Structures are given as C-alpha cells and as structure tokens.
Amino acid sequence: MFVLQHGTVAASLVEQYHQPTRRPGARPRVSRVKGPMTLIKGKVALITGVARGQGRAHASRLAAEGADVVGVDICTQPDHVSIPGATHEDLRETERLVSRAGQRFVAHVGDVRDFGFLRSVVDHTIAEFGRLDIVCASAGVWAISAADGAVSDAERAGVWETTIATNLMGAWNTLDAAIPAMIKAGNGGSITLIGSVASMSGQLPMDSLGSRVHAAQMGYVASKHALVGLMRSYALALAEHSIRVNCLAPTGVRTAMSQNEIVEAIGERHPSAFDVFANRMPIDVLEPEDVSSVLVHLVSDSGRFTTGVVLPVDGGFLLR
Ligand SMILES: NC(=O)c1ccc[n+]([C@@H]2O[C@H](COP(=O)([O-])OP(=O)(O)OC[C@H]3O[C@@H](n4cnc5c(N)ncnc54)[C@H](O)[C@@H]3O)[C@@H](O)[C@H]2O)c1
C-alpha cells in the first residue's frame, strides 16, 4: 500500500494508465505527486539515546521519512561507565540533522532510569504534537573499562546495577511512560527496543572471569536478553491496540560504544578478545544507518503486521 506514496512509482502509474491527451506543442503535464518519498509523514517519534551513534542516525532517518522527533539523552558521563559519554554538543548535531530534513526536533536532557522524567517528556510531547506514534528505546551503556585484574565487589555491583538499570529498566520506563498516551491517541503505533546479538547469544569472556570487563559483559548480555521478554510481553498486551513491539538485534556498529581506546586496549591485551564479535558476512562493523534502514521498515506501514519479533541486523553473526 505504501508504494502508492512513492513519488517515482506513482508517477510511472500516472504515465501508464492516465496518458493525457495533449495539444501539439503544449507543455507536458506533470504528476501531482511532489517531493521525495516519505514513509512516516506526520508521525511523531520518541527516541532515547539520541545524542549520537545509532540514536542520532535513527532520528535523522526517521526525520527524512517525514517524522518529527522527540529526543532524550543523558548527555553526561554515567557513573561506572568508562567509555566517554555523549555531550550537549552531540545533541545539537542531532538537532541540526533533523532540522536539515525539515522536521521538528524537541530535545530533553535526562536519564532513562528516571521514570518521572520520561513521563514528563511524554506529557510535553502530547501537549506539543497531540500524538506519539513511534518509540525507539536506544539508550544504552557497555561498562567495559581498560582496567586489568580483579574488580572490587563495590565496582562489580555498580557496573551490574548501572547496566541493568540503563539498558533494561530504562527501556521499561520508556515503554511505560509512552504506552498510555499512545493508546489514548488511538492511532496504533510501533515500538522498537534496541537489543543486540547479545539478546540472542551468550558471550564468551573477553577478559578473565572476575574482571571488570567480565562484569560489564555479563550485565550487558543479561540486560539485552531480558529486553526480549519485555518486548514479547508488551507485544502481546498491545496487539489489540494495533501497537506493535519489536526488538532490533544489531551486531557491532561503528559508534562511540564500539570504537574507542578502551576497546583498543582490551584488544592489545587479549588479541583474540573480539573474535566473539566476528560476523559471517565480510564486514567488521555495521554503520548506524544500516540499523536505521531496518528500523524504518519496522515503524512504517511496510512492517505493519510485524510484531513480537527479534530482528537481527547482524551480517550472519547469529548463524553459529
Ligand atoms: N555499538 C554497538 O556495537 C552496538 C551493537 C549492538 C547493540 N548496541 C546497542 O545500541 C544502542 C545504541 O548504542 P550506540 O551504539 O549508539 O552507542 P552510543 O554510546 O553512541 O549511544 C548511546 C547513547 O545512549 C545515551 N545514554 C546512556 N545512558 C543513558 C541514560 N541513562 N539516559 C539517557 N541516555 C543515555 C548516551 O549518552 C548515548 O548518547 C545501545 O542500546 C547499545 O547497547 C550497540
């Protein structure tokens, strides 16, 4: 159905079936279909983790497809996380990209672990736009560090709590804040949780058991697995409202989370540490935009009957 909105397809149909009779010398009539194809025109999307990386790519792409974007990011360095955090400058760049696509961008700086904050974001969104159609929970942390040796008990607990609270509870908070407003608006909708190939597979240790890296890995893989249970339960509960809930499972993506000095330091210490991230297709990492393309399918009419699935974007990673 959506192809009829596609400028090129619609234009060719016009040519094929509605050949106008033209006076000789008259200027050719043009199709009334104008502008680029937009798959989600008029929709409003809430994206967490929007300041950089995949969240930014999703904001930019959904805007290019016609959606206004409400973005959430903490824009600071979370405790127990060593990979450098996003900044306000990063968030401004996302705003610039959405504006360049001709769409509105409303930014909220805050923490997805704070349910009250997310409720106020949704209240503000409804007051401003009157609707909320698309939710993408992308905010996440990977609390690896360059530190060698055994992790202290306190740090081990801190790494676990931060990871679970951000990656899992943050997503849960985002859904619970958004869903009442989506149901009330009565427009259906699409919710996507950004999982990982770690949602569907165990991870071999990249460093010794009992190390900080290992604690971070275990928290990460547990949080990403748990997102699948959350997704399936919400998909069941929301199907009757035509609100779809899915999980995207990317392999390694070229963002600050995977491309940084900490990852390099671990790689130098354990040259085979990152063998666990090898893909079957001849590609080391995806670009964030590769994930955005699949997100567009899920949140637009092209994926209108897809709900309750984990969709890998993984170059064959999970085929092992
Ligand atoms: N990069 C990868 O290789 C990879 C692979 C698979 C899945 N993922 C997942 O993709 C998602 C996006 O990661 P990315 O690759 O864009 O990394 P990123 O570090 O570039 O982006 C994560 C964003 O989340 C924000 N964030 C972190 N904690 C937050 C909090 N408490 N509240 C609000 N915002 C917070 C950060 O500030 C940052 O802007 C994450 O859930 C990640 O786990 C990443």
Model confidence pLDDT, tens digit, residues 158-212: 999 999 999 999 999 999 999 999 999 999 999 999 999 999 999 888 888 999 9
Report which ligand 1 atom has the smallest distance to the Cα of 56: 16
Whose alpha carbon is nearest atom 37 of ligand 1? Answer: 86
Instruction: Compute CA 70 distance to the chain's CA centroid, rounded to the nearest angstrom.
Output: 13
Cβ 62 vs Cβ 299: under 8 Å: yes
- The pLDDT score that the predictor gives to residue 21 is 42
CATH code of the domain made up of 42-313: 3.40.50.720
DSSP conformation class of 262: H
Q: With cut-offs at 50, 70 and 90, classify the pLDDT of residue 16.
A: very low
DSSP H or E run through 214: helix 212-238
Whose alpha carbon is nearest atom 42 of ligand 1? Answer: 140
Amino acid at 252: G
Q: What tens digit of pLDDT does each residue of 291-320 get?
A: 999 999 999 999 999 999 999 999 999 997
Q: How far apart are the first and last CA of the chain?
A: 36
Distance, in Å, from the CA atom of 247 to the CA atom of 310, rounded to the nearest integer, reads 5
Q: What tens digit of pLDDT does each residue of 97-110 get?
A: 999 999 999 999 99
pTM: 0.90
Does the beta carbon of 51 lie inside 6 Å of ligand 1?
yes
Does the beta carbon of 313 lie inside 6 Å of ligand 1?
no
For the annotated catalytic residues, the residue numbers are 220
Whose alpha carbon is nearest atom 3 of ligand 1? Answer: 252
Query: Residue 5 pLDDT more than 50?
Result: no
For 51, 178, 266, the CA distances from 117, given in Å and listed in that order, are 17, 12, 36
- The pLDDT score that the predictor gives to residue 36 is 55
Query: Residue 33 pLDDT more than 80?
Result: no
Going from N- to C-terminal start, the domains of the chain cover: 1-37, 42-313
Output b/e per residue, 282-292; b: 16+ Cβ within 10 A.
eeebbebebbb
Q: What tens digit of pLDDT does each residue of 47-101 get?
A: 999 999 999 999 999 999 999 999 999 999 999 999 999 999 999 999 999 999 9
Does the beta carbon of 303 lie inside 6 Å of ligand 1?
no
- The pLDDT score that the predictor gives to residue 20 is 40
